[in-house]
Amino acid sequence: MELRKEIDRLKREKNAVILAHYYQIPEIQDIADFVGDSLDLSRKSANTDADVIVFAGVNFMAETAKILSPEKKVLIPDPEAGCSLADSCPPAGFSEFREKYPDHIVVSYVNTTAEIKAMTDICCTSTNAVKVIESIPADQKIIFAPDRNLGNYLNSLTGRDMVIWDGACHVHEEFSLEKILVIKDQHPEAKLISHPECQKPIQIVSDFIGSTSALLKFASEDNGSEFIVATESGILHQMKKRNPEKLFIPAPPLDSTCACNDCKFMKLHTIKKIYNSLAEDKFEVTVDPEIIEKAVIPIRRMLEISG
């Protein structure tokens, strides 16, 4: 409690705001000024009047905040909070890949580094990806990066034939279909809801597929009372807060001693680290100005399309 008071004091003193992704631990979600998915956090980064942004998320999210607000100080409580999906698309390799398809435009997921965004025509999130792709003329060829599962899912929804970079998220790749089916046998009324970054076998048996915010909305609005949730387990905190009368079961991964699937990078942040970052201006996020100049264009295009 004392740390929370000190964090509040520092926020007032420095005109700071804390942004937290849904995958953060419950204690961080509860002290954040704003909790959201990638699209919501992108909007908040662009619109906040704060002088300092403390980003309890992963590096690419903090980079996006810096790209949208280069005049602001952006801090990340633990600089080791990377992203396996972003890491699966290295800039040098993607640049070579892109050169093979000179007549294609690039749609990249926000789960990429600033360097990849600088090679992108339009960014997207899992929330607005269909809208982004459908805004592009049907005869325009597209490269989609970096998530192969989301890319293939979008091809099936839109009827496009996008060229897809072969990347993936370690969390969403590791769900066990066999263990999920066992849970479904134990809870025959439970609905399986999954993120489109999950592999196709998980998608096929799902009752609903959607972005993090879409899963949260579905869990609140659907008349079901039991849900098996195939995405990072942090979202269950918000689901339970909004629907205390419903049962939410985390979908299990292939190899784990626990029954949930956590992002090891998201879970690096702690209340203590947030305090230290604010108190000492530790771990400021910097992006090369030339990269910012290029990377801001596809992000703004995404935000314009999303409305």
Q: What is the pLDDT along the chain (307 residues), one digit of tens a residue?
A: 689 999 999 999 999 999 999 999 999 999 999 999 887 887 888 888 999 999 999 999 999 999 999 999 999 999 999 999 999 999 999 999 999 999 999 999 999 999 999 999 999 999 999 999 999 999 999 999 999 999 999 999 999 999 999 999 988 988 999 999 999 999 999 999 999 999 999 999 999 999 999 999 999 999 999 999 999 999 999 999 999 999 999 999 886 545 557 888 999 999 999 999 999 999 999 999 999 999 999 999 999 998 7
Q: Is the peptide bond before 79 cis (omega within 30 degrees of 0)?
A: no
pTM exceeds 0.85: yes
Q: In the CATH hierarchy, which fold is given to the domain comprising 2-80+266-286?
A: Rossmann fold (3.40.50)
* Number of neighbours of residue 289 by Cβ within 10 angstroms: 8
Partners of 52 in the beta sheet? 16, 73
Q: Would you tell me which CATH number, out of the four given (3.40.50.10320, 3.20.20.140, 3.40.50.10800, 3.40.50.300), belongs to the domain 175-250?
A: 3.40.50.10800
Q: What angle, rounded to 10 degrees, do the helices at 235-242 and 212-221 form?
A: 20
Residue 92 class from Cβ within 10 Å (0-12 exposed, 13-18 middle, 19+ buried)?
Answer: exposed
CA 163/CA 148 separation, integer angstroms: 10
| pLDDT score for 256 | 54
Q: Where in the chain is the domain with CATH 3.40.50.10800?
A: 2-80+266-286, 85-168+294-306, 175-250
Per the CB < 8 A criterion, the answer to whether 262 and 86 are in contact is: no
| pLDDT score for 257 | 47
| pLDDT score for 306 | 83
Residue type, 306: S
Q: In the CATH hierarchy, which fold is given to the domain comprising 85-168+294-306?
A: Rossmann fold (3.40.50)
| pLDDT score for 1 | 62
Cα 77–Cα 295–Cα 119 angle in degrees, nearest 5: 120
